[in-house]
Amino acid sequence: MKILDNKVALVTGAGSGIGLAIAKLYAKEGAKVIVSDINEKHGQSTVDEIKSAGGEATFVKADTTSPEQVEALVKAAVDTYGRLDIACNNAGIGGEQNQAGDYSIDGWKKVIDVNLDGVFYGCKYELTQMEKNGGGVIVNMASILGSVAAPFSSAYTAAKHAVVGLTKTIGAEYGPKNIRCNAVGPGYIETPLLESLSSDQRKGLVEKHPIGRLGKPEEVAELVLFLSSEKSSFMTGAYYLVDGGYTAV
């Protein structure tokens, strides 16, 4: 028996990178997956990959900065598969690189809209539905920058710290309701977000990870799968790193 058999899972930002890896692993382990992304082409590609491997998935386009679209996304999951058991709020952006005093107001708002507000909207509507189910699991995608600084990325760092705090609060509030909520903190991972780096920038990032390389999306997905399953049934309101030792030094 697969560990997510008979479960319905939702993944935002599932068109590429970590979200793609999570959606594929959820499906591989038996879940029916609602794949969501703002990019319809990429999201549908994820669904096609899942179906070609024998899994079940449906694409629903949604902009996570819109509470109305996120509410509709959760409704679509229930309309399609009858319930919502698992949600991974993964959608995120990097944002501009600037010192805090030079950071643009529009740039700040954009990062907070996606990386914090979007996660909150997801949690809000997922929690409402999971209460109707009698339980569920939420995994929020934070970052190593949910616990350490990143010069020139004040908005991203602030948002990811806030996601950790939001996650802990939800874990405390909803534990009595049989809903668990945890956050994952990846180090630097081989995703499209890093494609614009120069070779020197990439080398500098690698050197910050004692394990000697960048992470793979599939390695993050394995942790998310564990936190989404009954194998982690006594774990909630916490923040788990998968960072190659980045925060250890």
Catalytic residue among 26, 156, 174, 188: 156
Concerning whether 103 is annotated as a catalytic residue, the answer is: no
**pTM, two decimal places:** 0.97
> Phi and psi for 146 in degrees, rounded to 5?
-85, -5
For residue 209, the model assigns a pLDDT of 98
Dig out the tokens for 182 from the structure. Answer: 């945890």
What are the residue ranges in the chain where pLDDT is below 70?
Answer: none
The 10s digit of each residue's pLDDT in 26-62 is: 999 999 999 999 999 999 999 999 999 999 999 999 9
For residue 191, the model assigns a pLDDT of 87
Q: Is 240 helix (H, G, I), strand (E, B) or coil?
A: strand
For residue 26, the model assigns a pLDDT of 99
Q: What percent of the chain has pLDDT over 70?
A: 100
Please report the DSSP string for 56-99 in residue order.
EEEEEE--TT-HHHHHHHHHHHHHHHS---EEEE--------B-
Q: Give me the sheet containing 8-11, strands edge to edge.
A: 56-61, 32-37, 8-11, 86-89, 136-141, 179-186, 239-242
For residue 194, the model assigns a pLDDT of 81
* Long-range contacts, stretch 101-108, CB < 8 angstroms, 24+ apart: 103/154, 103/155, 107/155, 108/154, 108/155
